Structures are given as structure tokens and as C-alpha cells.
Structure 1
Amino acid sequence: MRTPREKLTMANHTSRNGATTTRGPGRWRCTRLATFTLATAVGVSGCDVLDELVAVDAPSRIVAEILEEPGNAATLMASVVGDFECAFAQYVSAVGATTQEFQYATGGFGWRSYDQRDFEPSGFNAAYVNSTCSTPQQGVIPGVYKTLSTARWQADHFTELLETWPAAEVPEREGFLARSAAFSGYSHLLLGEAMCSAAFDVGDELMPPQIFELAVARFNTAITGAQAQGDAATLNMARIGRARALISLGRHSEANSDAQQVPGGFVHNAGYSSISARRENNVFVVNHRTENVTPEEYFRTIGDPRVRLEDQGRDSPLGIPLFYQTKYPTASSPIPIARWEEAQLMIAEAELQAGNMAGAVAAINAVRTRPGVDLPPFESSSADEIREQLLFERQVELFLEGHALGDIHRYDLPLVPPPDTPYPTGGFYGGDRCIPMPDVERVNNPNVPSS
């Protein structure tokens, strides 16, 4: 069986013919958003209550004062979910390109910054900053910082509103508080995994461990609230999210406890729709429709049934064989945010860290041998071999689900291709292991150093 180590040596791209190709007035600030995004709410909820609202000009934005009242709580909750789902799909695409799940297949410097791991914190090529769920770049070049920061702010702001509204005026108040905290937790979690640092609400510059602690706090709130409400979906989503953050903080035993409580078969999906561009599954769009990216050669030849690809029988303009991933075969395909298989692999990681080799192997095999996968069980008592298998399982099981960049940090994996390797279209691969805080944050936030 191919191990993750083999991937770490694959630096070249091969085409079908055998050739190798180797502080100002214009500031943007999440805390200054005066509106909630409603285009997502329409797609998520389909509520008739929105009909009159979306009949006006520029229906994607409605002034906050009109909406921020208890009677619109369900609409605002749908907006929180929708903003996260849009950000999440873009995040999965961006992480895929940065970590060689995807490789760059066409022209366009915004994509190249991800694939080359050479991030510009400002300017036209700073797609991770510039792209949002509302700009024309959506569906072409994914964003990370602004999209997730918006989702984070929406969730936290909705929580603030709920806490000021009388419970009698919002019957679903406690349930909404739990769900909003869960989505805020995931926004914090993903920012912690991707960014070198971040800042929230004109606050101090925070490093990933500090961001993970904020995620844990949000998940604590979500878990307590979901338990009180009997909301199993939010409860288990938050348990998996908290376990993921705790492992990144080195708190494996606590993470194991959370992951052990997730029931078999559980999955919490982000939902998508072809109703509008911002509601589409971005991973499908950038691979199938625009063909900006294609699965990297390692995954094209991996031979594991969990990595499902279709050969298109032709090359991209850059001479790279085009394959379509079929995990998300349509623009409406859901993307898992949290699922039981991820929980099992975190159990394996925690058991391995605790020296329980048998427990780690059992958790790995729970994933490998489950119905529908039916792979032969893995057998070993070697800590090194179990670690290698765990990394492999995460690569294939969680393929294109937004985990690979966090794994590079958590397991201190080498970058592939190595820094300074010649880049196929000129220049060299960079050594960025995380995405830098954008200049717009440094310039406009007085609590963040300028460099």
C-alpha cells in the first residue's frame, strides 16, 4: 500500500505525452458590516417570509436595522448558516490547491498563489483576501480570510442579538444560540488551521493556538446548549469540531473523549444549490466547470476507492491531464463539515499518542472496513507504521474536505513539492506553510503590528 511518505517525494507534473513540467478611508472590516447576507438565507431556508424582502433591488443585502428584530430570528439564523457554507466551500477549494490535493491547471495568477504557496498579503493576486461570496471572483478564485471572517462575525453578531432579545419573543432562542456558536466555532477553527495569525473585531493579533482556544470556547457553548435542547445534530457537529481544535492544542485525551461520543453514521453537511453562484459547491465549479484545477497526480494514481476520479481524456492548457473528482458531482452536492469517520481517525490519533497501539489500529479499521468501503484491515503494532497509516487514511478518507492544511501543521509534514523547486510556469515553489494576515488588517487595525 502506498504510504503518505511516497507522496512527499512527488514534485513534478507529467502530461499525457510524457513531458514533465516541473490605515485609509477604503478599509474593509467585518466588525463594520451593517447588513446580513440574505441570498444565502433564501437558498438555505426557502422561507416564504423572504419573498417581499428579496423583491427589492439588490436583494442580496438588506439594511440590518430592518432585520435585526426578534421576528426575523429564523431568517438571520439561515443567513449565518449560508455565509458559513459559502466560506467553507471556498476554503475546501483553496486548501486543496495549497496542499496538492488539487493542482493548478489553467492560467490565472490568483490560483497560482495557492498552488505555488507564495501568498501576497495585498494586491490583485491576493485572492485569499479579495475574494468574497459576493464578488465576481466567486466561483473562479476562492477566498479564505474575508469569507471566513464574515461568517465568524455573522455568527457572533447574531449571538449578541439573541442574548439581548427576550426569550418569549424568540421561542427558538436557545437552539439558535447553540447552532450559532457551533458555526462560529468552525469559522475560528478553520482560520486557526489556515492562517499564520488573525485578528477579530479590531482586536490583537492572535496566533493559531489562541484562535483554537476561541474555537473551543464557542464549541463549549454549542455543546451545552445543544444538550439542553436535545439537538443531536448540533451536539455531534460541535463535539467533532471541539475534538479537532483540542488535538491542535495537544489535548489529545480530551479530544478522544469528545470523538468517542459521536455515533456511527453521523454526518453534518454543508448544503449547496444551483439557485445562485454563491450557493454552489465551489469545489465542483472550479474542477468540473471552469477546470482551473485538477486532482494532483498522487491522487490520480492512488488506487483507493475513497478517492473517486474520472479521467477526461484530455489535457489542460498547461499540458496537465484533466480529471474530475466525483465526490461532489454537481453544483448542489453537499460537503461534510463533520462526520463519524473523522471522529474515528481522531480517536486513532489520540490512542497512538497515549501509546495504545491496539486502540489506534481498531479505530483505523473501523473506518477502513465499514460497509461500502470494505478494505482489508490494517495490522501493525509499530508506532511509526501506525502513524504512517493514519496519515494515509486522513489523506484519502478526508480528501477535499478541508483538512490537509491543518494536517501539515499538526503533523509537521514537509511541503510537497519542496520550497525552491522550479514551478511549472516559471519561478519557484514557495515555503509558506500558512496564509499570512492580509495587509488590509495590519493597516487598519491599530492593535496589530504593521509587520
Structure 2
Amino acid sequence: MQKSRFVAETAHEKITEWGDEVNNSQQLLATAATYAGLVYQILGETYCESTVDTGPLMQPDEVLAVSEQWFTTALDDIGSGDFEIVSTTSLKQLALLGRARVRLALGDLAGAAEDAAQISTDFVAYTTRDSSVRPRWNHVYRQLNVSGYSAVADVVQWEGGPVPFTGYRDLTIAADGMPTIADGVPDPRVPVLYLNEFLQDGVTDNYAQQKYLSTADPIPVARWAEAQLILAEIEGGTAAVGRINALRDVHGLPHYAGPTDATSMENLIIEERRREFFFEGRFLAEKLRKDLWFPRGVGSNHKAVQYGMATCFAMPLSEYQNNPNIPEGYEGPY
């Protein structure tokens, strides 16, 4: 992540310095700024704390504020036009949706809604993948469908009961639109196949994802559905139901016809996000933002391995030890 941040920020600095000597300078500036914004967004959403270039420790909201600044810079670089880059046909919408994410996380609901409302139904941006060399692979497919190291998890049983918003096996939608498990229309957003075998450990049932079918399959980074769920969270009530049902129409799923009180809608939107962005790398940020369940060292998994304490990601130990602006002896939250 830090390498990507450094490259993006340095590129923006140097292209700004060189000015019109660089062909397509505005597109390159906007691309670098958008990528910098995305890196800071991921750091702010998923890391417990961060530093930049041996600077002081930054808390998540501070990192997200920098991310917002970079997305705004990208939009300024783009101006009234737009650019097509390798990962998307609309760099402007990628910057807008990235900023909407950050503004939602920072509590700027009006700003998030303004950005999200500008995302078109056909918008998508990808992390491109190919089968050439390991760093370019789709590692979801490699890990779950080739190597046999990991499987799609079932609902977590913890301290005598099931944990909400866990498990991706046999997910369905009931006739009344309620999210269910093995009771209704199979949810095509979460394609999982039981292979009737164990993983390499000889213990874990092999439930394989079917969303990505090769190491060359691209992985969505941002798309219209996320903008709609941002708006649904902000609007709530029947307006949110309308947006959720529009997303379900894309997949041929029953419309939601359940309660629309604040708690019911919050839970529904969490579940919709969980399913909609299956293996797209968005749910950890949602868990942290909504303070959802983590075992925090209590209990063990199906192999009797005790759960750890981690929730957010910690920086590498070397970043603590080699940074003169971090108090000596402090080595992170865990």
C-alpha cells in the first residue's frame, strides 16, 4: 500500500512540476490523484493507525481526510471533462465514488449523497488481473479454487449462537424479500459450490466461490451498486427500499417488503452490502465502521484454533521501530 501511495504522490508532484512537457498531463495528474485517494481510503478504512514517510501516527479519520483531499484534487484535475483509463471508462466517477465512500465514513452525509448521486448505472472500475505472473493473478480464484487453502465460510457459531452478518453458504432471498439462508431464491450475487471434499487440511469442507472463474478475471473496485447503497443508507425508509429493490432487479431477486424502521433498514443495508460485494474487498471496512462482531480473542474456530485479537490491520512492526516520530517501545495496538 505504501509503495502505491508513494508512486502516486510522487507522480503527481513530478508531473505538476514538469507541466506541459508531459503529454496528456491532465489525465496523468487525475489518475495519480485518484490512485492516491484510493490508497489513503483503504488505509483509513481498514488500518488501526497509519504513518506517511516517517511522519507522526495518524488516526483513521485523519487518513480519510487526506484521501478526500486527493479525490478532490483528482476532480479538479479532470475539470468539466472525463478520462478513460485502463481500469474504467470514467475516471471522474471513480474519483466521485471514492470520495463518496470517504465522506460517508467521515459523517459528511450531504457530501457523500451529492457525489454518489452522480454515478451512472453502467459505471464500474476494475483491478485488472491476468495469468502471466503471480502479482497479476486473481488471488481469490487461486486461493479458493486452485490451491485448496481456503473455503467460503459458514455462519460463525460463537458462545452458543450464530453471529449476525457471517457466513456465505446457501444464501437466499425469501418471497417477501427478507435475506435468508437455504430458504428462498438462491442469491446469484454470492455463487458458492460445495465440492464434496476437504481442503488440504483434511478437516475443512471445500465450499468454493464461483464469482471468479480464472486467475485472469478482473476484480471490481467501485461500481454503481455501491453508490446506490450509500444513498440508501443516507435516505433510509421507503427511499432506501426503492434503491435496494432496483439493485435486486438487476439480479432477478424478490423485492424487499419488510419493516422500514431505522434498525431494520440498517441491518438490511449491511446485509445487502455483504452480498453485493462478495469477494470485492469492501466488507472489512463495513464491519469496522458499523462496529460489527470480531471475536477479540474469545473462542476458537472449527479446528479448535483460538481466535486472535485483531480487528483492524496493524502496520508492519518495522514501521513502528524505524519511525523517529513514534515513541520508543510502542509497537502497535495488539
| TM-score between both structures, scaled by the size of structure 1 | 0.63
1:381 equivalent in alignment to 2:260: yes
Q: CA deviation at 1:390?
A: 0.6
Q: CA deviation at 1:366?
A: 1.7
Cα 1:381/1:424, change in 2 over 3 Å: closer
Equivalent residue runs for 1:3-42 within 5 Å: none
Indicate the RMSD between aligned Cα atoms, in angstroms.
1.5
Given candidates 305, 309, 315, the residue that maps to 1:431 is: 309
List structure 1 segments (4+ residues) > 6 angstroms apart after TM superposition. Answer: none
Equivalent residue runs for 1:8-87 within 5 Å: none
Equivalent residue runs for 1:129-140 within 5 Å: none
Check whether the contact 1:174–1:229 (CA below 8 A) recurs between aligned residues: no
- The one-letter code matched in structure 2 to 1:241 is G
1:222 equivalent in alignment to 2:105: no
Equivalent residue runs for 1:431-450 within 5 Å: 431-450=309-328
1:409 equivalent in alignment to 2:278: no
Check whether the contact 1:270–1:334 (CA below 8 A) recurs between aligned residues: yes
Check whether the contact 1:252–1:350 (CA below 8 A) recurs between aligned residues: yes
1:369 equivalent in alignment to 2:249: yes
Residues of 2 paired with 1:432 and 1:234: CA distance? 34
Q: CA deviation at 1:438?
A: 2.1
Cα 1:226/1:444, change in 2 over 3 Å: same
Check whether the contact 1:178–1:223 (CA below 8 A) recurs between aligned residues: yes
Given candidates 150, 157, 168, the residue that maps to 1:299 is: 168
Q: CA deviation at 1:430?
A: 2.1
1:314 equivalent in alignment to 2:206: no
Larger relative helix fraction: 1
Higher relative contact order (CA 8 A, sep 6+): 1
1:360 equivalent in alignment to 2:240: yes
Given candidates 266, 269, 287, the residue that maps to 1:390 is: 269
- The one-letter code matched in structure 1 to 2:282 is H
- Alignment length (residue pairs): 296
Deviation digits for residues 409-450 of structure 1 (CA, Å, limit 9, x no counterpart): 1111122x5641124444421232111222201111111223
- The one-letter code matched in structure 2 to 1:420 is V
- The one-letter code matched in structure 2 to 1:311 is Y
Deviation digits for residues 111-168 of structure 1 (CA, Å, limit 9, x no counterpart): xxxxxxxxxxxxxxxxxxxxxxxxxxxxxxxxxxxxx11111111111111112131x
| TM-score between both structures, scaled by the size of structure 2 | 0.85
Helix, strand or coil at the partner of 2:151 = strand
Q: Which runs of 5+ in 2 are unaligned?
A: 84-88, 155-166, 173-186
Q: CA deviation at 1:230?
A: 2.4
Helix, strand or coil at the partner of 1:369 = helix
Residues of 2 paired with 1:311 and 1:254: CA distance? 43
Check whether the contact 2:55–2:323 (CA below 8 A) recurs between aligned residues: yes
Residues of 2 paired with 1:211 and 1:351: CA distance? 26
Q: Report the identity percentage.
A: 30
Check whether the contact 1:348–1:363 (CA below 8 A) recurs between aligned residues: yes
Q: Which runs of 5+ in 1 are unaligned?
A: 1-147
Residues of 2 paired with 1:253 and 1:363: CA distance? 17
Deviation digits for residues 330-375 of structure 1 (CA, Å, limit 9, x no counterpart): 01101011100011011111112xxxx12211221121122xx011
